[in-house]
């Protein structure tokens, strides 16, 4: 290696430069202060500390009371970025479940109505 002060070549294990007498720095010295900041990543861990409660509530509600479940799931899905993406999948599942339930309910009402009307027409035709 070379002395960083005078530039003359010195032995790799030498602690002092034989030319100018200044202390040499070993590049692989342990305990260097440079590696410490890499351990901390506070911006990454902070958003995941809180859980997206409204998404969980919406998911559960979507099984029992469809419309409030759908509303809570939509709110939870929109607020998911505030919780670092927490509960996004849960909210999405709640939206899908309540949407399917509402869709099936509407379909059932339509089919039921058609059947009733046709049955009624059939009865009145007799």
Q: Rule CB under 5 A: choose which of 1, 2, 6, 89 binds Zn ion.
A: 6
User: Minimum Å distance from CB 85 to Zn ion?
Assistant: 55
Examine residue 5 and tell whether it contacts Zn ion (CB under 5 A): yes
Examine residue 1 and tell whether it contacts Zn ion (CB under 5 A): no
Helices in 1-126 by DSSP H: which ranges?
42-45, 53-64, 66-79, 88-125
Q: How far apart are CA 107 and CA 118, in angstroms?
A: 16
Examine residue 2 and tell whether it contacts Zn ion (CB under 5 A): no
User: Minimum Å distance from CB 32 to Zn ion?
Assistant: 22
- Residues 11-50 vs Zn ion: string with x where CB under 5 A? ------x-xx------------------------------
Q: How far apart are CA 88 and CA 4, in angstroms?
A: 55
Q: How far apart are CA 5 and CA 12, in angstroms?
A: 15
């Amino acid at each position: 290696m070379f002395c960083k002060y005078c530039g003359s070549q010195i032995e790799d294990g030498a602690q002092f430069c034989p030319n100018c007498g200044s202390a040499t720095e070993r590049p692989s010295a342990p305990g260097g202060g440079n590696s410490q900041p890499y351990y901390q990543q506070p911006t990454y861990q902070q958003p995941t500390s809180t859980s997206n409660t409204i998404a969980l509530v919406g998911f559960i509600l979507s099984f029992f009371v469809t419309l409030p479940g759908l509303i809570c799931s939509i709110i939870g899905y929109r607020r998911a970025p505030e919780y670092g993406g927490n509960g996004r999948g849960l909210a999405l599942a709640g939206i899908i479940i309540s949407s399917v339930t509402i869709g099936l309910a509407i379909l059932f009402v339509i089919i039921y109505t058609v059947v009733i009307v046709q049955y009624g027409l059939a009865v009145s035709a007799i």
